[in-house]
């Protein structure tokens, strides 16, 4: 089942008009700094001089990982399902921030190792109760990996058909920072030590153990070098679905808000398959997870916030969203010199 996405490069026909509109606002040229760059990018993505943010949405993809059995996380696997319940009850950080900023929130069960109760915000897309332990065999088969990618794409199409044109992707999965570190290492050639972080709060001894375990996994799967092979070998169901979600959102011309380390690693895989996807992405923040800082440098990205976050869940997206709103509002509502009667 081949991947079949069509992601168009951003059009340049409105570039000059967008820049002129920004420069004619009642301010010194460039004085709104990164907001001006952001407004220009959003106008280009939506191909409009008056872009609008319609029904903003965060999708949280949740899945469990077999590698947790090797002791790479400070938390037990059961926390994944417990946090999904917390999302649905409205008690998690992303739940609070999404309510604050009127962002729709959906939780996608990509592969949680539990039977979850039905809920209006829960989307049952479970592939299996967690991936395999990649210390002994690939996390998933190539066929399952491609199926997960297509399933993630379908979740975005559903939101698009409901009127959404601004989407963010979050994740939940105990052990997924281990998957992300291996994906990053294999697809960037950065050293493993530079890609591995403390995840959910490992101490120094636990961190050394995590690096040792992940190096063993790399030695076990030296043949996995191509993006889809790397994803199937070391990834998670939630990460694979996020890859498809990024690609579909870009194909549909949506504004994509990128969260932290895990979310950015899924984007790395997507960008290795379709480099144009990066044109549609706004990086919400830089995480305190060391791998994320190196990954943003790899992308040559300028994140909007630096708050030392390392939570995931899409929390950075919700916090950065007001800045995205401000970029659109100043472009659409701020007076020009002529309108305000101010000498230019």
pLDDT, tens digit, 9 for 90 and up, residues 328-340:
999 999 999 999 9
Nearest C-alpha neighbor of 104 from the set 173, 170, 172: 170
How many domains, the chain? 1
pLDDT of residue 189: 87
User: For residue 92, is it within any domain?
Assistant: yes
pLDDT, tens digit, 9 for 90 and up, residues 50-82:
999 999 999 999 999 999 999 999 999 999 999
Residue 267, Cβ density class (10 Å: 0-12 exposed, 13-18 middle, ≥19 buried): buried
According to DSSP H, which parts of 221-281 are helical? 227-234, 237-251, 261-273
pLDDT of residue 209: 95
Q: Is the dihedral of CA 237, 238, 243, 247 positive or negative?
A: positive
Residue 100 has pLDDT above 60, yes or no: yes
For the segment 167-192, the average pLDDT, to the nearest whole number, is 97
User: For residue 1, is it within any domain?
Assistant: no
For the segment 218-236, the average pLDDT, to the nearest whole number, is 97
User: For residue 189, is it within any domain?
Assistant: yes
Q: In this structure, are residues 263 and 169 in contact, taking their beta carbons and an 8 Å threshold?
A: yes
Distance CA 317, CA 304 (A): 10
Distance CA 302, CA 231 (A): 26
User: For residue 9, is it within any domain?
Assistant: no
pLDDT band at 201; cut points 50, 70, 90: confident
Tokens representing 239 are: 């990460």
Residue 292 has pLDDT above 70, yes or no: yes
pLDDT of residue 199: 80
User: For residue 17, is it within any domain?
Assistant: no
Tokens representing 302 are: 């300028």
pLDDT of residue 2: 66
pTM over 0.85: yes
Q: What is the CATH number of the domain that holds 282?
A: 3.40.50.10210
Give the chain's length: 344
Specify which residues 218 forms β-bridges with: none
pLDDT of residue 198: 87
Residue 145 has pLDDT above 80, yes or no: yes
Active site residues: 313
User: For residue 139, is it within any domain?
Assistant: yes
117: containing domain = 57-328
Nearest C-alpha neighbor of 246 from the set 156, 311, 315, 172: 156
- C-alpha neighbours within 13 Å on the C-beta side of residue 245: 32
User: For residue 99, is it within any domain?
Assistant: yes
What average pLDDT is seen over the chain?
97
Helix (H) or strand (E) holding 105: strand 104-111
Instruction: State the helix-helix crossing angle for 315-333 and 93-100, rounded to 10 degrees.
Output: 20
User: For residue 23, is it within any domain?
Assistant: no
């Amino acid at each position: 089942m081949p991947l079949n996405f069509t992601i168009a490069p951003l059009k340049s026909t409105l570039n000059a008009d967008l820049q002129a509109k920004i420069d004619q606002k009642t301010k010194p040229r460039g004085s709104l700094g990164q907001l001006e760059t952001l407004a220009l990018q959003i106008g280009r993505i939506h191909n409009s001089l008056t872009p609008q943010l319609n029904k903003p949405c965060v999708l949280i993809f949740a899945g469990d990982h077999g590698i947790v059995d090797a002791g790479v996380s400070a938390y037990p696997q059961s926390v994944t399902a417990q946090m999904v319940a917390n999302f649905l009850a409205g008690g998690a950080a992303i739940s609070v921030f999404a309510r604050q900023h009127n962002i729709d929130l959906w939780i996608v069960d990509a592969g949680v190792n539990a039977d979850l109760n039905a809920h209006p915000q829960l989307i049952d897309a479970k592939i299996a109760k967690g991936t395999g332990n990649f210390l002994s065999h690939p996390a998933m088969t190539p066929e399952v990996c491609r199926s997960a990618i297509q399933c993630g794409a379908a979740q975005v199409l559903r939101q698009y058909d409901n009127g959404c044109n601004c989407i963010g992707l979050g994740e939940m999965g105990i052990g997924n920072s281990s998957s992300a570190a291996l994906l990053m290492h294999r697809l960037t050639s950065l050293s493993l030590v530079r890609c591995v972080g403390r995840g959910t709060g490992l101490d120094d001894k636990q961190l050394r153990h995590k690096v040792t375990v992940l190096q063993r996994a790399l030695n076990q799967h030296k043949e996995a070098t191509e993006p889809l092979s790397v994803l199937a070998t070391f990834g998670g169901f939630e990460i694979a679905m996020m890859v498809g979600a990024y690609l579909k959102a870009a194909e549909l011309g949506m504004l994509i808000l990128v969260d932290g380390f895990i979310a950015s690693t899924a984007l790395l895989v997507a960008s290795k398959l379709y480099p144009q996807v990066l044109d549609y992405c706004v990086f919400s923040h830089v995480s305190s997870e060391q791998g994320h800082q190196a990954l943003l440098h790899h992308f040559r990205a300028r994140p909007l916030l630096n708050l030392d976050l390392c939570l995931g869940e899409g929390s950075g997206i919700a916090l950065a969203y007001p800045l995205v709103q401000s970029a659109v509002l100043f472009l659409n509502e701020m007076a020009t010199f002529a309108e305000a009667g101010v000498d230019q």
